Amino acid sequence: MMQTHRHFLIHKPFGYLSQFVCELPKKKLLGELYDFPEGTMAIGRLDEDSEGLLLLTTSGVMSERARSSKIEKEYYAQVDGEIGEMALDQLRNGVQIGIRNVKYITKPCNVTRLMFAPILLPEQKNT
């Protein structure tokens, strides 16, 4: 019997972790936003202090396919303040990030400073 999977596009609010299970107490998780089916997982992640479009799926195959380096991805990031050329060059060449206390260098990428910001939802900080 073929298993039916579900896929979701959500706006992850500020203050939530991009996961459904967490050992840390008092953290807000995606499962609190909606009654997602069992086995739902985020494709990628947004940090707790960021917000934006997030893809969710119940299919591990779909998750692996979307996260694969064979699929080109494009992101828009809005930052507080001005970002200088040195920071843009660091992004272009790869930056160090940490996931579960393991350090990684991101792959080099194309970075372009937009002259005009797209219209986004207002930031929704939970205080």
Position 120 pLDDT exceeds 80: no
The pLDDT tens digits of the residues spanning 86-106 come to: 999 999 999 888 777 889 898
The pLDDT tens digits of the residues spanning 17-52 come to: 998 888 778 899 999 999 999 999 999 888 888 888
Predicted TM-score (pTM) of the model is: 0.74
* Residue range 7-73, CATH number: 3.30.70.580
- Separation between Cα atoms, residue 115 and residue 29, nearest integer Å: 34
Please give the positions annotated as active site: 47
Domain assignments of the chain as residue spans, ordered by start: 7-73, 82-113
Structure confidence at residue 127 (pLDDT) = 47
The closest alpha carbon to 56, from 16, 2, 13, 6, belongs to 6
